[in-house]
Amino acid sequence: MSMTTDFWGDRHSQSTVNAPASSQPVKPSSRFGMFLQTLFTTMVGDAEPKIWQMTSRNGVMIWNVYDPTTKESTSFATEADVRSWLEQRYSH
């Protein structure tokens, strides 16, 4: 499992292994809400850009972005570059 930081500084874990089920049962209403959200995202798609930070092999922090609308993926050296990319994306 690896930790990533999104554009706003929130840390997220990424894993290709399914996490164990919670010891607390999920309420039926929560399950239904999760189902609806998954269904909506699957049908409509998630247009929000994905932004995360990584450290290169030589220790340099790299900002990665992915735009699911255009399927564009790129990397930036600074947070300011990411902000500029976002501003250009939403200035249309």
Tell me the pLDDT of the chain (92 aa) as tens digits. Answer: 456 555 555 555 443 334 444 455 555 567 787 777 777 666 666 778 899 999 989 999 999 999 888 888 999 999 999 999 999 887 76
Residue spans per domain, the chain: 1-13+47-92
- DSSP SS3 for 92: coil
Q: Which of 87, 3, 1, 92 is nearest to 49 (CA)?
A: 87
